[in-house]
Each structure stands twice: as C-alpha cells, then as structure tokens.
C-alpha cells in the first residue's frame, strides 16, 4: 500500500500505474475540492483501478463523485467498509459494485493509526508561539462526529447528532508515536472535545502524565465552555494552550438561524471563563451569510476590539462566506433555497448572492485585501486595521481610531483551515 498526501505531494505516476485500488480521503471541504480536481488525472494514470472516496465529505457529494467514475463512496465510521472493499476486490469482477453502506455509524474497534506512509510531521502545520518561534505539531482524535445539529455544519448530515469515542489507550498510542517523531504539541481534531467531557478530561490527564511538557489545543463549542467551565483550569494545567470555538456570529438572529444554541452574550461569557482559566480562546466566524448586513459586519469587528480578541482571530476568518454543501440542514430552512443558485460542482456547494450587493462587494474586496496582507506577512492587527477601514468605507461611515490595546498575540497553528467554510482563493491556489 502506498500513501500520497495531495496537500504536500504531487500525483505520482509510477505509484498509480499498477494500482488496483485508489482510495481518496476527504475529511474537509478543501480536500473534497482537491479530490474533484485530481480524479480525472488519477483515472488517466490508473485506468484499471477501482476508485473509492471516503470521509466526511464523500456521502454529500456522492452523485458528483459517481459521475467522475468513483465506484465506492463511504462516510462516517469507514474503516470496516474499507476493509470489506479490499476483500471484495479480490473476488471476481462482478463484486466491484458497492455493497457497503454509504454512511455507517457502526461502533468499530479502534486500532492505532499507521502513519508510516505519510510525509514527516515537520512538513505539516506547526504550532506558532507568540514570539514567532515554532514547534512541531501532531494531530489526534479522541472522538468523531458530534451530538449537536448546527444547521450549517457538515458533520450533521453524516453523523446525525451522534458521536463515537476513541478509547484513551488508542489515542495515547497514536500520540506516543507522534511524540517520537518530534511532536511537541497535539492539535485535537475532534469536532468537539467536550461532547464527552469526562473522556476529554481523561485524555488530557493521560497525556499530561505521560508527557508533562506536551501542549495541546482543542475545539469546544461555546455552550460546552460555559456548561463545563469548572473543567477548564484542569485542561490548562494539563497543557491546553488555546481552544478554538465556532462562534460564527455575534447577531442573535443569525445564531438562531444556524441553530448554534448559544447567544451573542454567551460569547462574552466564554471569553471571560477561558481567560480566567488561563487559556486563549480562538473564535471562528462565518462572517458573511445571506443575513449579514454592513452594520452587522461592523458590529462583529467592534466586538473583537471590545473583547481584545483581534490577535486571536486569523484575518481569513473575517472574510469567510457561508458554505452550503449538498445535504446541509440549511436547505430545510423555510425560504432558504430561494436565496440559492443551482448546485455548483466546481465549488461543491450552492452559491448564493446577498440581496444587498454592497455586502458581496465588500466580501470580495476584503478577500483580495487579506490575500495582499498575507503576502506581505502583515501582523494580524495591521490587517485588522485595513479591514476596519474598508468595512467602514463600505457602510459610508468614518472609521474611528482603533484603541492601542487590541489584545496580545496567542499560540496558534501555522495554517488556518476550517471545515465549514468555502476555501479562499489563496488556499486553493496552494494546490
């Protein structure tokens, strides 16, 4: 078996030439976009191979993938189905029709992931310290799926409000192998580290006991940060540097439409609680939605200033546009489909236009601005200042001077990728 990471490596013809099976993992929207781009070339390089696409973004793009020649599409808890696929391909040709369920939520026995075919850990996203120095970061999953059903979330159409726990011992074995490859920090990829708070805490304790110097970050929703605030000091003591939280909006109406189960005021509360515990909060946003107004966008910027969070938010977060993939619960929202254009196979989603053209224009101009600022490697606060001025100009308001204290830089990962958003032009150009 050979493994290629298309985010870091080129499609390799000698590897593909004799392949009987090519299975592409699409764990994120951007990975699915790369897969769609790569499939015609893979078909050329491996004309006899059975094509499989698996992972969170496979089932919702099943129709398109099959049209591109993909014979097996798998989502959810896929490992048993992948094994079944390999076994059936050893049978006569008639067994090439998919017999595995497209989505499985079966409880599987977990094994330690075999990472031996992947590029070195040091080639992946790093932890960046506030002083700009870097540490090698690893990745682990303590759980998969999510018990919540936020309307815009890509986890929901597949996991339907369910989650699966990975046993602590397995996760620890995986962490151990990455520490031996130089990882000094672990980024937990669980959709929500506190879907099972006891499990999350057990994991943090085990990790800290085995590797007292190892730090970590995790994703936890606002509601869980408030409900389990008593656990935060121990997370900090176990090495938690920052928590990513999908705040999405500071407008209660938009939060209601997204079914986030937190209010704008809860965001302030979560900031206070994490600060009290000594953990940085890195909020993420869907800054542009069909319901965003120019005034509402300014309110988001003002809130980041007031909460001194400017250094905690990657500028790309302030240009993110709501992604509406096939299967999104948003499509069930009364009147929402009417706002959408037909499904676009190129972007793997339903494009939409804002009823106020100024909002779309601002988003596009900000996208170009942020790309320029990233190229010039401007500090977050400088980019924020440029966004602040442009957004005020779009709303025909004069931009007040920003206060001197916009917050301190925090630990962060070197690549800001997010699952619920359309990739930016910059991200796609990287491939």
Residues that bind ligand SF4 (CB under 6 A): 146, 148-150, 153, 155-156, 191-192, 221, 246
Residue 73's H or E segment, with its range, is: strand 72-76
Rounded distance between C-alpha atoms, residue 307 and residue 5, angstroms: 39
Proportion of the chain in helix, strand, coil states, percent, rounded to 5: 40, 15, 40
Rounded distance between C-alpha atoms, residue 34 and residue 259, angstroms: 30
Rounded distance between C-alpha atoms, residue 301 and residue 112, angstroms: 43
Phi, psi of 273 (to 5 degrees): -65, -40
Rounded distance between C-alpha atoms, residue 428 and residue 28, angstroms: 13
Q: Which tokens sit at 89?
A: 């391909």
Q: Which is nearer to ligand SF4, 100 or 248 (CB)?
A: 248
Report, in Å, the least distance between residue 146 CB and ligand SF4: 3
Q: Which is nearer to ligand SF4, 149 or 176 (CB)?
A: 149
Q: Which is nearer to ligand SF4, 159 or 388 (CB)?
A: 159
Report, in Å, the least distance between residue 222 CB and ligand SF4: 9
CB 419 within 8 A of CB 317: no
Which residues, 6+ apart, have CB-to-CB distance to 40 below 8 Å?
Answer: 68
Q: Give the number of other Cβ atoms within 10 Å of residue 229's Cβ.
A: 16
Q: Which is nearer to ligand SF4, 22 or 258 (CB)?
A: 258
Q: Which is nearer to ligand SF4, 150 or 406 (CB)?
A: 150
Q: Which is nearer to ligand SF4, 273 or 286 (CB)?
A: 286
Phi, psi of 65 (to 5 degrees): -65, -40
What DSSP string describes 291-339?
T--HHHHHHHHHHHHHTT-GGGS-GGGGG-BB---TT-GGGGSTTTGGG
Q: Give the number of other Cβ atoms within 10 Å of residue 400's Cβ.
A: 10
Report, in Å, the least distance between residue 262 CB and ligand SF4: 10
What DSSP string describes 83-104?
HHHHHHHTS-GGGGS--S-SEE
Q: Which is nearer to ligand SF4, 153 or 301 (CB)?
A: 153
Q: Which is nearer to ligand SF4, 260 or 354 (CB)?
A: 260
Instruction: Please report, to the nearest 10 degrees, the dihedral formed by the alpha carbons of residues 406, 276, 189, 427 taken in order.
Output: 0
Report, in Å, the least distance between residue 322 CB and ligand SF4: 13
């Amino acid at each position: 078996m050979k493994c290629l990471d298309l985010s870091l490596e080129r499609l390799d013809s000698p590897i593909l030439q004799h392949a009987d099976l090519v299975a592409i993992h699409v764990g994120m929207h951007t990975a699915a976009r790369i897969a769609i781009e790569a499939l015609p070339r893979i078909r050329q390089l491996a004309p006899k191979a059975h094509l499989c696409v698996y992972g969170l973004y496979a089932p919702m793009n099943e129709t398109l993938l099959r049209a591109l020649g993909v014979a097996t599409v798998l989502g959810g808890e896929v490992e048993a189905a992948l094994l079944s696929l390999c076994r059936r391909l050893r049978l006569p040709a008639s067994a090439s029709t998919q017999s595995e369920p497209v989505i499985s939520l079966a409880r599987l026995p977990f094994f330690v992931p075999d990472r031996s075919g992947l590029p070195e850990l040091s080639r992946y996203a790093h932890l960046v310290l506030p002083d700009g120095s870097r540490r090698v970061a690893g990745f682990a999953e303590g759980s998969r799926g999510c018990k919540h059903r936020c309307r815009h979330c890509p986890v929901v159409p597949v996991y339907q409000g369910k989650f699966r726990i990975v046993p602590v011992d397995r996760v620890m074995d995986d962490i151990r192998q990455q520490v031996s490859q130089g990882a000094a920090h672990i980024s937990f990829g669980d959709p929500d580290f506190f879907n099972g708070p006891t499990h999350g805490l057990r994991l943090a304790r085990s990790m800290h006991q085995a590797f007292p110097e190892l730090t970590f970050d995790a994703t936890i929703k606002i509601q869980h940060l408030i409900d389990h605030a008593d656990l935060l000091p121990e997370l900090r003591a176990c090495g938690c540097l920052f928590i990513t939280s999908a705040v999405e909006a500071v407008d209660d109406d938009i939060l209601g439409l997204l079914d986030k189960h937190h209010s704008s005021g809860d965001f302030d509360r979560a900031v206070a609680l994490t600060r009290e515990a000594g953990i940085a909060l890195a909020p993420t946003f869907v800054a542009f939605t069909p319901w965003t107004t120019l005034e509402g966008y300014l309110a988001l910027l003002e809130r980041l200033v007031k909460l001194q969070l400017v250094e905690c938010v990657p500028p790309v977060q302030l240009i993110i546009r709501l992604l509406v993939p096939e299967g999104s619960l948003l499509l069930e929202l009364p009147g929402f489909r009417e706002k959408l254009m037909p499904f676009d196979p190129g972007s793997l989603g339903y494009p939409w236009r804002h009823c106020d053209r100024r909002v779309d224009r601002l988003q596009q101009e900000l996208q170009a601005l942020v790309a320029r600022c990233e190229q010039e490697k401007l500090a977050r606060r400088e980019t924020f200042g440029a966004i602040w001025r442009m957004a005020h100009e779009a709303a025909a308001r004069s931009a007040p001077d920003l206060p001197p204290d916009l917050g301190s830089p925090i630990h962060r990962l070197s690549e800001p990728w997010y699952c619920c958003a359309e990739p930016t032009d910059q991200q796609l150009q990287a491939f």
